[in-house]
Amino acid sequence: MSRYINNCMNEWNVLIEALGQGKQSVLFKKYKSKQDNFLLYPTITYANKKDTLNGFKQKHEEFVKDNLYPTREDKKYEVKYYAEVKDIINIPFIKLINYNYLSIVTTRFIAQELSQNNIYLWLLRVYKLDQPLMLERSPGKLYSHIKDCKIDVENLEPVLSDKEFERIERLIRLAKSGEMVNEYTL
């Protein structure tokens, strides 16, 4: 049985590629998700800021430079990934450092971009589409819809294995309980 969707979340291309290439499985947001699943639709407005690279950890500089801009044809952008929201955690600002290892962005950047009162960690299970698609979306700041089609998301292959994803879930639980963790924990 197939499951078709056309809803998408608009996100920076470099973060979509980090999710899609398994470099991270989380996004930090100032709001909770209104949707349980969505296609990841690339945006580029952030990429034109002169200090964009300063928001990312230095060890990811080449990756960021290579993935600032998505493939584009007129009003259509390349969509390669689908995501399911597995958990949303409200993180007190003073605890943000406990989760920093989960993302390619710096803690400083997260603190500057997001409200210091409400920072939400979205744990996402990301899946690669069978093939990249050139798609146009409807207007929308956070969420939108793909125009003129629906995408089958049944039986997609997850980016991370179950074992890798479960490890990230365990690390988040440890961080949530107050333990200091990093990528070498577990």
Provide the pLDDT confidence category of residue 159 given band limits of 50, 70 and 90. very high
Q: Is residue 185 part of a domain?
A: no
Q: Is residue 76 part of a domain?
A: yes
- Indicate if the pLDDT at residue 161 is higher than 60: yes
Q: What are the residue ranges of helices labelled H in the chain?
A: 13-20, 61-67, 107-113, 162-176
Least confident of 24-28, 61-65, 108-112, 154-158: 108-112
Q: Residue 3: which residues within 8 A CB-CB, separation 6 or more?
A: 152, 153, 154
Average pLDDT, the chain: 89
Task: Give CA–CA dist 98/104, Å, rounded.
Answer: 14
Amino acid at 153: V
Please tell me the pTM assigned to this model: 0.92
Q: Is residue 79 part of a domain?
A: yes
Quote the pLDDT of residue 186: 56
Quote the pLDDT of residue 185: 67
Provide the pLDDT confidence category of residue 2 given band limits of 50, 70 and 90. low
Give the structural domain span for 113: 4-176
Quote the pLDDT of residue 180: 73
Torsion of CA 52, 55, 58, 60, to 10 degrees: -80
Q: Is residue 162 part of a domain?
A: yes
**pLDDT tens digit string along 122-139?**
999 999 999 999 998 877
Q: What are the residue ranges of helices labelled H in 97-151?
A: 107-113
Best CA proximity match to 153, nearest among 129, 125, 133, 124? 129
Question: Exposure string (b/e) for 105-129, b if CB count within 10 Å is 16 or more?
Answer: bbbebbeeebeeeebbbbbbbbbeb
Amino acid at 56: F
24 vs 44, which has greater pLDDT? 24
Quote the pLDDT of residue 156: 96
- Indicate the pairing of strand 4-5 with strand 26-29: unpaired
Q: Is residue 182 part of a domain?
A: no
Q: Is residue 186 part of a domain?
A: no
User: How large is the C-alpha radius of gyration of the chain?
Assistant: 16
CATH code for position 116? 2.30.130.30
Q: Is residue 170 part of a domain?
A: yes
Amino acid at 104: I
- Indicate the pairing of strand 76-91 with strand 7-12: unpaired
Which residues sit opposite 133 in a β-bridge?
79
Quote the pLDDT of residue 87: 96
- Contact status, residue 122 vs residue 25, Cβ threshold 8 Å: no
Q: Is residue 117 part of a domain?
A: yes
- Of the chain, the end-to-end C-alpha distance in Å amounts to 38
**pLDDT tens digit string along 38-90?**
999 998 877 777 778 888 999 999 999 999 999 999 989 999 999 999 999 99
Number of structural domains found in the chain:
1
Provide the pLDDT confidence category of residue 178 given band limits of 50, 70 and 90. confident
